[in-house]
Chains A and B, each alone.
Chain A
């Protein structure tokens, strides 16, 4: 079943075309890897998908809800983690999560329990009363991840969730992605970590200069790139982005 449909999506910033006529279909319960060099348009695509940016043209729908025409319904089923999540540094971890849970419509009887379980699973219980501004980068990332999934979204949009994290936090985040997949959550994962994409993604799209240059499973990408059958994703990526460049 198709969960997300993107049709002829174009996004322009003045003269700069960040996304150029992008079309995608992402199936339910799938992990969809989005790869591309810096400035390729990955973050713009994800921000447009979650309703932060308005498309210049084209449509995005999530479970049949158009993100521009019916944003409230679409946003209720999406959880978004930006590349550099900025948090309310003056709130405690507990207050921050309560606030986000509340504005994302989590019921009172569930909210406290969800927060406690999430803090426990990320080993952040001791930081419940710490101000968010006092946490380390890794801890902030964990808090942002909890905030992203508090309302049990059916679709997760993760923009480079592993960037600049220490090895221990990376493991926690990877485990969390795997657990979401097991729960049947559809995940769109933008990353520079090709091994992560290779390990987790059922389907991969490579984007460069605002265009999707290739899409498919790892096998079909190898074919498109015309490389050896045992070639690493890195070689596939370099070949495909070099051809466009």
Chain B
């Protein structure tokens, strides 16, 4: 009877949360997001296949390499669990659900169920597309790809439950000794999961790869890779799948047991008006405006804000990931064989700028600016200057890291070397332009702090519109730079080797002039958009 009542309660909670979550705008965002993620994952899948062949982990898809990829997901969920985000809660939950007499165990179950449903809905299409790409490579059938996708989903769901368990275990009730064992267990899982990275060291024993075989990521990798690559072993796969399900069931039972007590205080809910990361913090004032111009104070304020709110650190970490990805991509040899993939990589580096830019409006306080006599066009330009400097500082080493193998491969081939040499500053210019575009779209569509006109649903639609416009306009604006890189090779061939240097200098000057012109237009438009905004 009590079990039945629990199921009913869980059903009610999930229905209530789903109703709030899947609005028309969310569904549109989901469709657009899914389409983009499928395109990206197909590209990444191709790179992965190329990479594994290149570094000798096996021809095509490798179980070990795949288990390492999945281990990175484990790192993420464990980290979010320790951050207290394993069980996400809204202000509405705190006010209405947590104060209700619903047993915490039921709330926990409903939360995990909802997260699982969302993951299923969001993650399955791109995963299926990925395995379909692999099955094309191996000439296996699509049902195998679907099965492999389902097995990977089980692994993802297990990760969500593990993350929720870790959040539950943050409470004081489990005691110091148990926390020690918990930490040891998690360290062991992480250490063993990531151990196969050591295979990249020349001469490392191949047996290292076997250690992941009993871990969830290893099991998921073995079954999914086996299915999609057409390796026979039905019985082994069934046993491995059962083992994977056992991990999931184990973590789920552990979670249900831990959630019998009161766990609400563990869940992070942002207090209105306060930022948790800033609570109780004091800092030495760094603005010191004495003798400085108003614009250098504006730039310094922006620099301080992006460093204090950890935005700069996030930028650095993202740049490191991007750098690792691009170096792998460069090593895989795809650049040399395909100019289109090279242009795509240019755009990826460049797109990095727009994500960075969109955050500025959230941190800006428009009422202060708009009730002041400052020129908003100039203000936006100064904010841009403050933000573009760290972006270029981080992207320059990335570009150099990508450029070195490229330049080395093109030495002695004048025209193609010119194209490569021009492409490297072009990548930074693409980043600068997309960041300018990002600032314009953020100033036009981004949500400001005290937005009292747009409802959240309207804002979601606006965000989708912004994303689509921004990507399209970004591509349009940077296309002359990409064309310039592509055309330089042909021009160098037709003009002859004697004029390569002059041609290069001319094209570089032209591209820089174009970039500055476009930036001026974009930032003026951004300033005008802020001027026209009335939602503050």
CA distance A91 to B282 in the complex (A): 10
- Whether B297 sits at the interface, judged by CB under 8 Å, is yes
Note all chain A residues with C-beta closer than 8 A to B281.
130-131, 133-134
Q: Is the CB of B278 within 8 A of A90?
A: yes
Report the minimal beta-carbon distance from A221 to chain B, rounded to whole angstroms.
29
Contact with A along B272-293 (1 / 0, CB 8 A): 0111001111111111111110
Complex-state Cα separation, A103 to B449, whole angstroms? 20
Of the candidates A71, A84, A95, which one forms a contact with B450 in the assembled complex, judged by CB atoms under 8 Å apart? Answer: A84
Whether, in the assembled complex, A142 has its beta carbon less than 8 Å from a beta carbon of chain B, the answer is no
A28 sits at the interface (CB 8 A)? no
Asked if A75 is at the interface (CB within 8 A of a chain B CB), the reply is: yes
One digit per residue, 1 when the CB lies within 8 angstroms of any chain A CB and 0 when it does not, for chain B 307-332 equals 01100000000000000000000000
Query: What residues of A have a CB within 8 angstroms of the CB of B532 in the complex?
Result: 54
Q: Which A residues from 129 to 169 make CB contacts under 8 A with B? A: 129-131, 133-134, 137, 140, 147
> Do A90 and B367 touch (CB < 8 A)?
no
- In the complex, what residues of B have CB within 8 A of residue A92's CB? 282-285
Q: How far is the CA of A61 from the CA of B363 in the complex (A)?
A: 31
Contact status B289-A98, CB under 8 Å: yes
Among B363, B368, B372, B449, point to the contact of A90 (Cβ < 8 A): B363
Give the one of B282, B286, B374, B449 with max A CB within 10 A: B282
Known contacts A103-B294, A103-B374; A98/B278 CB under 8 A: no
Q: Which B residue's beta carbon lies closest to that of A132? A: B278
Q: A88 touches which one: B288, B294, B301 (CB < 8 A)?
A: B301
Q: Are B367 and A85 in contact, CB atoms less than 8 angstroms apart?
A: yes
> In the complex, which residues of chain B have a beta carbon less than 8 angstroms from the beta carbon of A104?
372-373
Give bound CA distance, A111 to B294, whole Å.
Answer: 13
Q: Are A90 and B297 in contact (CB under 8 A)?
A: no
Bound-state CA distance A20–B278 (Å) is: 43
Residue among A50, A105, A129, A137 making CB contact with B284, cutoff 8 Å: A129
Q: Which A residues are CB-close (under 8 A) to B449?
A: 86
| Chain B residues, CB < 8 A from A94 | 285, 287
* CA distance in complex: A144, B374 (Å): 19
Known: A89-B278, A90-B278, A90-B304. A52 touches B367 (CB 8 A): yes
Q: Is the CB of B372 within 8 A of A103?
A: yes
A117 in the interface, Cβ–Cβ < 8 Å? no
For the complex, is A193 an interface residue (Cβ under 8 Å from B)?
no
Q: Which of B275, B286, B536 contacts A95 (CB 8 A)?
A: B286
Are A105 and B373 in touch, CB under 8 angstroms? yes
What residues on B are CB-neighbors of A87 within 8 Å? Answer: 365
Number of interface residues of B (CB under 8 A): 43
Are A129 and B280 closer than 8 Å at their CB atoms?
A: no
Docked Cα-Cα span, A104 to B369, in Å, equals 9
In the complex, the answer to whether A137 meets B273 with C-beta atoms within 8 Å is yes
Contact A103 B368 (CB under 8 A): yes
Q: How many A-B residue pairs have CB under 8 A?
A: 122
Contact B450 A53 (CB under 8 A): no
Cβ-defined contact, B274 with A98, below 8 A: no
Interface size on A, residues (CB 8 A): 46
Give which listed residue, B274, B284, B297, contacts A102 with CB less than 8 A: B297
Question: Could you tell me the distance between the alpha carbons of A54 and B528 in the complex, rounded to whole angstroms?
Answer: 13
Is the Cβ of A51 less than 8 Å from the Cβ of B371? yes
- The residue in chain B whose Cβ has the minimal distance to the Cβ of A130 is B282
Assess whether A72 is in contact with B373, with CB atoms less than 8 Å apart: yes
The reply to whether B304 and A133 contact each other, CB–CB distance below 8 Å, is no
In angstroms, how far is the closest chain A Cβ from the Cβ of B289?
A: 5
Q: Which of B327-380 contact A (CB under 8 A)?
A: 363, 365-374
Bitwise interface map of B from 295 to 310 toward A, beta carbon under 8 Å scored 1, else 0: 0011001001100110
Chain A residue numbers with a CB within 8 Å of B286 are 95
Q: Please state if B287 and A75 are interface contacts (CB–CB under 8 Å).
A: no
Residues of A within 8 A of B282 (CB): 92, 129-131, 134
Q: Kindly state the separation between the CA atoms of A147 and B371 in the bound complex, as whole angstroms.
A: 12
Tell me, yes or no, whether A237 is within 8 Å of chain B by CB. Answer: no
Shortest Cβ gap from A183 to chain B (Å)? 20
CB distance from A197 to the nearest CB of B (A): 23
What is the CB-to-nearest-CB distance from A78 to chain B, in angstroms, rounded to a whole number? 7
In whole Å, how far is A185's beta carbon from the nearest beta carbon of chain B? Answer: 16
The one of B274, B285, B369 that contacts A134, using a Cβ cutoff of 8 Å:
B274
Quick one: CB contact mask for A62-84 with B, threshold 8 Å, 1 for yes? 00000000011101101010101
When the two chains form their complex, are residues A90 and B305 in contact, meaning their CB atoms are under 8 A apart? yes
Question: Which residues from chain A contact B1 at a C-beta distance below 8 Å?
Answer: none
Kindly provide the distance from the CB of B152 to the nearest chain A CB, expressed in whole angstroms: 39
How near does chain A come to B87, taking the closest CB pair, in angstroms?
Answer: 25
Within 8 A of A (CB), among B447-503: 449-450, 453
A134 touches B280 (CB 8 A): yes
For B173, the chain A residues whose CB sits under 8 A away are none
A–B complex contacts, Cβ < 8 Å, 30 sampled: A52-B534, A52-B536, A54-B532, A73-B373, A75-B371, A76-B373, A80-B367, A84-B450, A88-B363, A89-B278, A90-B304, A90-B309, A92-B282, A92-B285, A94-B287, A95-B286, A98-B287, A99-B287, A102-B289, A102-B297, A104-B372, A108-B291, A111-B289, A129-B283, A130-B281, A130-B282, A131-B308, A133-B274, A133-B275, A140-B273
Other CB < 8 Å A-B pairs besides A85-B367, A99-B301, 17 of them? Answer: A13-B534, A47-B534, A73-B373, A90-B305, A91-B287, A91-B301, A91-B304, A94-B285, A95-B285, A100-B368, A103-B294, A103-B297, A103-B369, A108-B289, A129-B283, A130-B282, A134-B274
- 3 tightest CB-CB pairs across the interface, nearest first? A133-B278, A86-B449, A72-B373
